[in-house]
Structure 1
Amino acid sequence: MLASRHIQCPYCGERIEILLDASAGDQRYIEDCQVCCRPISVEVWVGADDEPHVSVAGEDEA
């Protein structure tokens, strides 16, 4: 089950779209910004509503 979410890059501030795989459960990974190519730390968890939630941070904030 893939879900699309828009996030704001913690480096360049651009709004980008990422795909989340909620079937994998809670996860943490690095994804490069599609605009500035810097690494974004992405944390995904599935809430009580069975919807995936996402939090992002720059590598110096993680």
Structure 2
Amino acid sequence: MYEHFFQCPYCWEEISMLLDSSIRKQTYIEDCEVCCNPIEITPEFQDQELIGFSATDIEQ
């Protein structure tokens, strides 16, 4: 597992998330731990190292 810190695209608070580095690329929805809004998370790993990350808001 890999802990990554980033800003929520809704409330701009810094939050952390545990990412599974054994999966090369994935996309999933996770709620912000501060404001509870849904965030689309897309991490990308290469050799267990994070090489790309995006956290975008979900248009509702």
Interval containing the TM-score (normalised by the shorter chain): 0.7 to 0.9
Corresponding residue of 1:43 = 42
Mapping of 1:1-62 within 5 angstroms? 2-47=1-46, 50-52=48-50, 53-60=52-59
Which has the larger displacement, 50-59 or 14-23?
50-59
Instruction: Report runs of 4+ in structure 1 exceeding 3 Å deviation.
Output: none
The offset of 1:50, in angstroms, is: 4.1
CA RMSD of aligned residues (A): 1.3
What one-letter code is carried by the residue in structure 1 that aligns with 2:17?
I
Identical aligned pairs, as a percentage?
43
Structure 2 stretches lacking a partner, 5+ long: none
Task: Choose between structure 1 and 2: higher helix proportion.
Answer: 1
Structure 1 stretches lacking a partner, 5+ long: none
Q: What TM-score, normalized to structure 1?
A: 0.84
User: Matches of 2:22 and 2:48 in 1, distance apart?
Assistant: 10
The offset of 1:19, in angstroms, is: 0.5
Q: What TM-score, normalized to structure 2?
A: 0.87
